[in-house]
Structure 1
């Protein structure tokens, strides 16, 4: 008799959970992230993110080139101009190896520097400034 009651309880409980899931009442403790896009900003060009534009103006690249052995991994810093509604609002200098990579932040969006391409290669000539491309993560809220 006890087994019958346990099985009955489990069936009722399972049906109740199923009904709640269909009504959208079950809360899952997993975070949902806002949509993000990665947009490339070529050196010297303005790229629009809504009413904000970013222009990459300088790259300081001391990363360890591919096909070499280095004691230090190196860093890459970028300088960029930030425009809002076509007018310059600030110049930003960020180290892409640090956690603080924000180019622009507002209540509606955030622009974060992610990486710079191309990656240095010992078998290739030195990268010219105009060949760099900045990858920007665009989060909209």
Structure 2
């Protein structure tokens, strides 16, 4: 009975990992990648993305053992032709995986805008100054 239970658990785990991997967003050779600091804008075609602030940063610091990897939430503003469209909270997972559900900032007709990574990564207990943060923004063509 225990053997069947273990096989069932392993099977379900692999199914969920496969489904999760299918939702992962990857940068490809057609993607446009830009890195911006707080207050700066990244532009692509008629759209601008402004990195407004880091809302929370609960990523597990380097050299620390944590129960979970954590994440950072950032606020970005989307503009089209200079006109404000929306503010969007984007979650940056400490694992490095990007997903439509958490990393998508905006979906335009021809491309999607993602918040992909946030640096610097926490190192110990030192608080990171807001001005030090840099957000990697990816403009990924719709396929």
TM-score normalised by length of structure 2: 0.68
Q: Which residue pairs with 1:16 in the alignment?
A: none
Q: Which has the larger radius of gyration?
A: 1
2:64 to 43, 62, 68: 68
Once the two structures are TM-superposed, the CA of residue 76 in structure 1 deviates from its matched residue by: 0.8
Q: Contact 1:34 / 1:139 at 8 angstroms: preserved in 2?
A: no
Q: Which residue pairs with 2:129 in the alignment?
A: 128
Any stretches of 5+ residues in structure 2 without a counterpart? 1-27
User: 1: distance between equivalents of 2:40 and 2:137?
Assistant: 13
Q: Contact 2:42 / 2:137 at 8 angstroms: preserved in 1?
A: no
Aligned residues: 108
Q: Provide Cα deviations, 1:1-22, integer angstroms capped at 9, x if missing partner.
A: xxxxxxxxxxxxxxxxxxxxxx
Q: Which residue pairs with 1:37 in the alignment?
A: 32
Once the two structures are TM-superposed, the CA of residue 88 in structure 1 deviates from its matched residue by: 0.8
Once the two structures are TM-superposed, the CA of residue 37 in structure 1 deviates from its matched residue by: 2.3
Once the two structures are TM-superposed, the CA of residue 117 in structure 1 deviates from its matched residue by: 0.7
Once the two structures are TM-superposed, the CA of residue 140 in structure 1 deviates from its matched residue by: 3.0
Once the two structures are TM-superposed, the CA of residue 119 in structure 1 deviates from its matched residue by: 0.3
Any stretches of 5+ residues in structure 1 without a counterpart? 1-32
1:53 aligns with 2:55: no
TM-score normalised by length of structure 1: 0.69
Match of 1:72, SS?
Answer: coil
Match of 2:68, SS?
Answer: coil
User: 1: distance between equivalents of 2:40 and 2:29?
Assistant: 27
User: 1: distance between equivalents of 2:65 and 2:44?
Assistant: 38
Q: Which residue pairs with 2:116 in the alignment?
A: 114
User: 2: distance between equivalents of 1:117 and 1:80?
Assistant: 15
